[in-house]
Amino acid sequence: MSDAGSHGTRRGPGWPKLLIGAACLAVIVAWTFHAIDINAVIANLGNADPWIVLVELPLLLLLVWLMRAVRWFTVLDTLGARPRFLPTYVSTAVSLGLAVITPMQLGEALKVAHAKAHHGMTIATGASGFAIERIADVLVLLLLTALAGLFMVRTDMPVTFVAVVLCVAIPVGLLVAVALGRRFAPGALADAMRAFRMMAERPYAALSVFLTTLLCWLLTAFIWRAGLMAIDVVISFPAAMFMVGMVTFAIVLTAIPGGAGISEITIMSLVVQSGFSPEQGLSAALILRFLSLIAIALGIAHWLASPYALSSSEPRGR
In a domain, 91, yes or no: yes
- Confidence category of residue 308, pLDDT binned at 50, 70, 90: confident
In a domain, 29, yes or no: no
CA distance 259 to 292: 10
Output the CA torsion sign for 84, 90, 93, 95.
negative
Q: What is the mean pLDDT of residues 224-236?
A: 93
In a domain, 237, yes or no: yes
Lowest mean per-residue pLDDT among 33-47, 103-117, 266-280: 103-117
Burial class (CB in 10 A: 0-12, 13-18, 19+), 63: middle
Provide the domain count of the chain. 1
Taking phi first (over 0 means left), then psi (-120 to 50 degrees means alpha), and beta for anything else, what does residue 156 get?
A: left
In a domain, 28, yes or no: no
In a domain, 60, yes or no: yes
CA atoms within 13 A on the CB side of 280: 17
CA distance 239 to 288: 15
Q: Which of 29, 16, 53 is nearest to 261 (CA)?
A: 29
In a domain, 18, yes or no: no
- Confidence category of residue 311, pLDDT binned at 50, 70, 90: low
In a domain, 41, yes or no: yes
In a domain, 170, yes or no: yes
For residue 318, is pLDDT > 50?
no
pLDDT, the chain, mean: 76
Q: What domain range includes position 205?
A: 34-306
pLDDT for the residue 264: 80
